[in-house]
């Protein structure tokens, strides 16, 4: 028994078997012809579609933005750490310089008090005179009782 007999339902009719064989041969020939035509025809490929190009551009843009953001963040962090170190160094220097500065401020205050006392002594001597210093040469020309 061959496969044709199974398809024909095991019929003993030679005409029916012949028609089925003929139909199967035609079907096989058409499938072979179609396959040969499909494999031998020239194929065209799309070089680049518009949908693909904008996705590629968007991915490159996003990658560049992420890289720039990472670099900017790193630069800001480095700058921030340098500023904190500078502030800490300035505070440490101020702590070391505080006693010396207090001495300078104390000496300036003592000098100011001394100058103030000298100025008050000068004013006191100027006020206690009978006649002003500019009038003394004229006062010497006058005799003691005010006549001349």
Residue 114 belongs to some domain of the structure: no
Question: For residue 28, is it within any domain?
Answer: yes
Residue 141 covered by a domain: no
* Residue 86 maps to a domain: no
Within a domain: 135: no
Q: Which of 40, 21, 20 is nearest to 32 (CA)?
A: 40
Q: Distance between CA 32 and CA 25 in Å, rounded?
A: 10
Phi and psi at 131, nearest 5°, equal -130, 150
Is 32 within 8 Å of 41 (Cβ atoms)? no
CA distance 46 to 95: 74
Q: Which range of residues forms the domain containing residue 6? A: 1-39
The reported pLDDT for the residue numbered 95 is: 82
Percentage with pLDDT > 70 across the chain: 83
**pLDDT computed for residue 54 by the predictor:** 84
The domain tally of the chain equals 1
Please check whether residue 2 lies inside any domain of the structure: yes
Asked whether the whole model's pTM tops 0.85, one would answer: no
What pLDDT sits at residue 44? 79
Q: Is 9 part of any domain?
A: yes
Please tell me which residue, 64 or 111, carries the higher pLDDT value: 64
- 107/61: higher pLDDT: 61
Question: Is 32 among the domain residues?
Answer: yes
SS3 of residue 138 by DSSP? helix
**Helix residue spans in 3-49 (DSSP H):** 3-7, 14-40
């Amino acid at each position: 028994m061959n496969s044709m007999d199974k398809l024909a339902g095991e019929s003993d009719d030679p005409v029916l078997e012949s028609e089925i064989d003929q139909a199967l041969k035609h079907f096989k020939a058409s499938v072979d012809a179609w396959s040969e035509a499909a494999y031998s025809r020239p194929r065209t490929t799309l070089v680049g579609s518009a949908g693909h190009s904008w996705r590629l551009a968007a991915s490159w843009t996003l990658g560049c933005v992420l890289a720039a953001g990472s670099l900017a963040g790193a630069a800001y962090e480095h700058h921030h750490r340098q500023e904190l170190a500078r502030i800490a160094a300035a505070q440490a220097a101020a702590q070391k310089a505080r006693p010396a500065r207090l001495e300078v401020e104390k000496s300036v205050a003592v000098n100011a008090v001394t100058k103030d006392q000298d100025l008050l002594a000068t004013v006191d001597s100027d006020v206690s005179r009978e006649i002003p210093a500019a009038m003394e040469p004229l006062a010497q020309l006058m005799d003691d009782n005010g006549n001349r």
